[in-house]
Amino acid sequence: FNTTQMVKERKEKKELAPVTRDYTLNLHKRLHKIQFKKRAPRAIREIQRFAQKSMYTKDVRIDKELNSFIWSKGIRNIPRKVRVRISRKQNEEDDAKEQFYSLVQFVEVESFSGMGTEIAKNQILIFQISHISLQKK
């Protein structure tokens, strides 16, 4: 049994493509033992860190609606859980360092029970339709 062979047999990295997924983030466990006056800013940073890790992009942009939801109960009392939609998008700026960026948006839900990670279906249809129409041109 040779570990160097296993390393060589690993699959190569896949190229990134635009994608949209919905996640439920438990902010309560991420902010355990964090000083009260630093909780809301830390929650924003934790959301950014999660988006970087899940979408493999360094450029993460947080929607104003999500930011206002996190800060809605003040700096100390942030919501325990939040449902977010993270979209990896093509960067269309000319002088961009990164090829893709992640946009994190707030998704309002009544209950968090039974909600796992989901690929946003309506976003995929819009992308496929626009992609097909671009190919025909």
Q: Which tens digits make up the pLDDT trace of 70-113?
A: 999 999 999 999 999 999 999 998 888 999 999 999 999 998 88
Q: Is 2 in a helix, a strand, or coil?
A: coil
| pLDDT tens column, 37-79 | 999 999 999 999 999 999 999 999 999 999 999 999 999 999 9
* Burial bucket for residue 135 (CB in 10 Å: 0-12, 13-18, 19+): exposed
Higher local confidence (pLDDT), 8 or 127: 8
Is the model's pLDDT at 15 over the cut of 90?
A: no
**Radius of gyration (C-alpha) of the chain in whole angstroms:** 18
* Reported pTM: 0.77
Alpha carbon distance 95, 1 (integer Å):
48
